[in-house]
Each structure stands twice: as C-alpha cells, then as structure tokens.
Amino acid sequence: MAWYCSANSNEGLVNNLKTAKIFKSEGVEKAMKAVDRKNYVSQGPYNDTPQPLGFGATISAPHMHAYALQYLEPFLKPGMKVLDVGCGSGYLTACFSEMVGPEGKVIGIEHIKELVDMSRRNIQKDRPGYLESQRIILVHGDGRKGYPEESPYDCIHVGAAAEKEPHALIDQLKAPGRLFVPVGVKSQSIYQIDKDENGKVTRKELMGVMVPYQNMLDDIKYENF
Ligand code: SAH
C-alpha cells in the first residue's frame, strides 16, 4: 500500500501518504510539506522507495519517515529535544526540527564523515540559519553510544538497524521519553520503547521491516551475512 504513495511533487507525495493513513497528525503533514525531499536526495525524491545516498547508505522510503514522525509525534512538541541516530541525508533531522520549532533542538549523529558533510550542506541550503543557531547540531560519531553531551532526549530515532536493544540510548531518554528503533539482524522489527515518568521501560513491536544490510547499526553485519 505504502509503495503506491509515489508522486511528482513533494506535496503530492505527502498527500498520498496521508490518504494511505501512514500518518494522521497535522504537525507531521506540515513538517513533511515544509521540508522538500528534493533538497536531500538527488534521484527519485518523490518515489516511495529508499534511494542511494552514496557511501553505501540509503535514504529511507518516505512512508518509513512518515511512520517515524507519527509514532514519535507526542515527543516532538515545540521545545523538545531529539536525537536522530544515523541521520544520513539530514532529511528527517530537518523534519524533526520543524516539529520541535525554534525553541527545540535536534542532534543528528552519523558515522560516515562524507554523509555528515552532505547533511550539513543539505541543511545549510534548505534551512538556512538552523546550524548557526544550533537549532540543529550535526555530529560525526558512533550513534550506538548515543550523544551523552546533549542528553537526556524527549525522543530518539534510529535510522539504522540495531542487533539488540540499544541500552545506551534508553539511558539517554528523558522520563517520559520514546525510542523508535529497528532491531534484528537478518530481518527486523521496529520497536517503540517508552520510558514513563517513573523511569519504567516498556516496549511495543510496531511492524516488521527489511533494512538493507548497509544500514545496520552494528559491526555484526560483516559477520552475519
Ligand atoms: N535517516 C537517514 C539515513 C538512514 S540509513 C535518512 O533517511 O536519510 C542509516 C544511516 O545510519 C546510514 O547513513 C548509516 O551510515 C548510518 N549508521 C549506521 N551505523 C551507524 C552508527 N554506528 N553510528 C552512526 N550512524 C550509523
């Protein structure tokens, strides 16, 4: 169903995702309409499929971005703080920033230096001033460890698959806070891991996905394929 959401324009794509009920929040619609995918990926920006970014990574399909924004939406209110692990093109990082607004802060962390540079160029062009004001901070580093310097976070999104539940990331969530993470090696499930106001952690399996092996978070990819 989601794959039929492709369109010829950013607005058409977002309208199709809404009609397909991938998201329902007005805030998600506004953010996805404000951030044009063509500024983050050179080929097929409005196709509802993953696209190569170079350096062995891919930008996720628009329906996956829409799901992530919708599931995290209660933790993307104005002024909130977000960590985007494996920020790749910077597209979703920019959408998060639209949702948390100028008082909020989004940290994108990516382990491929060339992609950090690419996301910096993309955001510089598409959202001028966001990097200077530190509304968005882009970091070159290993996202498995999170980014304790800016923790705790209202929510953490992981764009790459983890072998197992990433405890360092759960530790860096606020109480309450929410983590969205694909977990698994040969195939994955996306988990929503919630920390409540007392610090109690619960998990909910949202859906099965197939993450390309280049987009595994862990070094285990080389041992297991
Ligand atoms: N969310 C991004 C990219 C998704 S692909 C987008 O949609 O554009 C997953 C990304 O995670 C890739 O860019 C990959 O380089 C990155 N990644 C994989 N393992 C990582 C790690 N340990 N630390 C930080 N980034 C990582």
8-54 tens-digit pLDDT: 999 999 999 999 999 999 999 999 999 999 999 999 999 999 999 99
User: Tokens 């790749």 correspond to what residue?
Assistant: 88
User: Domain of 64: which CATH number?
Assistant: 3.40.50.150
- Residue among 158, 217, 219 whose CB has most ligand 1 atoms within 8 A, to mutate: 217
Is 82 exposed, middle or buried, given 0-12, 13-18 or 19+ CB atoms closer than 10 A? buried
- 97 close to 127: Cβ distance less than 8 angstroms: yes
pLDDT at 219: 54
Which of 35-49, 88-102, 181-195 comes out lowest in average pLDDT? 181-195
Query: Which atom of ligand 1 sits closest to the CA of residue 41?
Result: 8
- Residue among 51, 69, 110, 139 whose CB has most ligand 1 atoms within 8 A, to mutate: 110
> Would you say residue 209 has pLDDT above 90?
no
Task: Tell how strand 105-110 and strand 81-85 pair up.
Answer: parallel
Tell me how far CA of residue 146 lies from CA of 41, 48, 105, in angstroms: 25, 29, 15
pLDDT at 203: 95
Q: Name, in order, each residue with C-beta under 8 angstroms of 132's C-beta and a sequence gap of 6 or more.
A: none
What is the residue range of 87's domain? 2-224
pLDDT at 213: 64
pLDDT at 187: 79
The single-letter DSSP state of residue 48 is S
Instruction: Give residues (CB < 6 A) around ligand 1.
Output: 57-60, 85-89, 91-92, 109-112, 115, 142-144, 159-160, 215, 217
Which residue type sits at 174?
A: K
3-state secondary structure of 194: strand
Q: Hey, which residues are catalytic here?
A: 60
Which tokens sit at 32? Answer: 């996805």
The tally of domains found in the chain comes to 1
- Preceding amide of 212 cis, omega within 30: no
Q: Phi and psi for 136 in degrees, rounded to 5?
A: -125, 135
Alpha-carbon dihedral sign for residues 37, 85, 162, 191: negative
> Would you say residue 225 has pLDDT above 50?
no
Residue 198 CA to ligand 1 center (angstroms) comes to 31
User: Tokens 């800016």 correspond to what residue?
Assistant: 150
| Residue 20: other Cβ atoms inside 10 A | 16
